[in-house]
Chains A and B, each alone.
Chain A
């Protein structure tokens, strides 16, 4: 556990040592604010909740999270530090988990910095703070899912642009997997159980059910097992691809 913490600490400090942290957080706050107030008609709705705020999170994450995740392993491979890291007395999963948790914690910080939204809504009315808390949790879990996907794609290539583009496409697939755009790709030929399976992978469906305030264990488990799967895939990919410099 100790070595995960050391890697976690170094990675997290790394975000703040470079302009990445400032740029990411500022853009995240600006966009989430802009979406909420302009596109979401926050005031016109006349309701004391944060639904328009959280509704845009999947789309915000779709662009921002792959940008954050693309450097996770691609950068280590490009600079050769992967050889340094993996010849230290550390196991592969400790390295994968440490780096992932740092990135996840960083998005958590960005998410926490949206607290003025929560203050505002509490000043304006009497929202259900339990629902808001659940939505925050759901949003964080979804961000973790996107990050884990990005981590795996980042391990596949040392080209960060490629990592970004592929991650966006895969994340989009997961957001939309319950929607006609994706389902119609399969509906002509795939059996019904596969269609059901695919639609059950929709981030949007799971996120929306959490952000209604219904903390269903299945939704939480969905995101956690998805993260575990993609991190396992990350470790496997690194093991296979590390020989290529």
Chain B
């Protein structure tokens, strides 16, 4: 069965506050789903319900066919979870902590030892195995949290901000690790670093005010950006008005914005009709005009533009 996580109409209210408002989706094996959304959008609350920590007000969560409320033990056995901030028992060492988690997951004796040492190798914890967790750096603490989540090789991996607070090298390591596991598992991770979506996710979901506002591949998401497939061109030694009017005659051009001037250089952003691919036509036209083109490149659209577009309330002009 390919569907690992099945969520239907999930809702959670805290008194009058609606934290999660009717979220439904499924995650298949091999998918890495990125949860995006502003702080307080309901990402963590959703994850806490998927992992069985919080009881939903209504709606159902199924992990590999097991309902988290009716068969919590069976469902939880199949989940590896890294809670926000990677909590761990601070007075334990990574070795004793991972052994504890292994025992809780039902490992014993030689199998337990082997599983712990394999996991330690995967996340590179060898050098700090016998130091107490409270003395470790943020990067190592996060790796300890990741280690406890993947120790039992779970089918479903839920990671709440796995790279938050890490330096660029550590982020890279964690992402490499996630990508390496992606084939075998269904992974859900939350982040507000948009580059991370490109780096690891096969699918991105934007949540705002407890609702799913967008769900698709990172490329599809970029397609929603107003600057998607626009062309940026910098030309030397032309009159900007003349060039502007000339460019408007190219097929497929909808709108041109002057981006700036520097000496005799002028830069335009050219918007296509219906997001079509006009870069070759622009290049061709500029060559025909014998313009001195200094720069010519496409803009696929920025995720953070889409993010802002979808998660900020629309301003109404009255």
What residues make up the interface of A, taking CB atoms closer than 8 Å to B? 2-3, 6-7, 9-10, 13-14, 17-18, 79-81, 83-84, 86-91, 242-243
Would you call A87 and B14 a contact (CB within 8 A)?
no
Would you call B90 and A87 a contact (CB within 8 A)?
no
Contact A84 B83, CB 8 Å, known A10-B100, A17-B91, A91-B73: yes
* Inter-chain pairs besides A83-B53, A88-B104, A89-B106, 17 sampled, C-beta below 8 Å: A6-B104, A10-B92, A10-B100, A17-B92, A83-B48, A83-B87, A84-B83, A87-B51, A87-B53, A87-B81, A88-B76, A88-B105, A89-B74, A89-B104, A89-B105, A90-B73, A90-B76
CA distance A154 to B132 in the complex (A): 25
Number of B residues with CB within 8 Å of any CB on chain A: 30
0/1 string, B85-122, CB within 8 A of A gives 1: 10111111000100011011110000000000000000
What residues make up the interface of B, taking CB atoms closer than 8 Å to A? 14, 48, 51-54, 72-74, 76-77, 79, 81, 83-85, 87-92, 96, 100-101, 103-106, 148
Nearest A residue to B55 via CB reads A239
Would you call B48 and A6 a contact (CB within 8 A)?
no
Nearest B residue to A78 via CB reads B87
Interface centre among A10, A18, A88, A242 (most CB of B within 10 A): A88
Would you call A89 and B85 a contact (CB within 8 A)?
no
Nearest A residue to B77 via CB reads A89
CB-CB < 8 A to B92: which residues of A? 10, 14, 17
Would you call B53 and A88 a contact (CB within 8 A)?
no
**Least distance between A136 CB and chain B CB atoms (Å):** 30
CB-CB < 8 A to A17: which residues of B? 91-92
CB-CB < 8 A to B96: which residues of A? 13
**Least distance between B247 CB and chain A CB atoms (Å):** 55
CA distance A215 to B224 in the complex (A): 78
Count A-B contacts at CB 8 Å: 66
CB-CB < 8 A to A6: which residues of B? 100, 103-104
Would you call A88 and B89 a contact (CB within 8 A)?
no
CB-CB < 8 A to B72: which residues of A? 89, 91
> 30 A-B residue contacts at CB 8 Å?
A2-B106, A6-B100, A9-B103, A10-B92, A10-B100, A14-B91, A17-B92, A79-B87, A79-B89, A80-B85, A83-B53, A83-B83, A84-B81, A84-B87, A86-B52, A86-B53, A87-B51, A87-B52, A87-B76, A87-B79, A88-B76, A88-B101, A88-B105, A89-B72, A89-B77, A89-B105, A91-B72, A91-B73, A243-B14, A243-B54
Complex A-B, nearest 9 residue pairs according to Cβ-Cβ distance, in ascending order: A80-B87, A89-B76, A83-B83, A6-B103, A87-B51, A89-B77, A81-B87, A89-B73, A88-B104
CB within 8 A of B83: which of A3, A9, A87, A90?
A87
CB-CB < 8 A to A88: which residues of B? 76, 101, 104-105
Contact A242 B76, CB 8 Å, known A81-B87, A83-B83, A88-B105: no
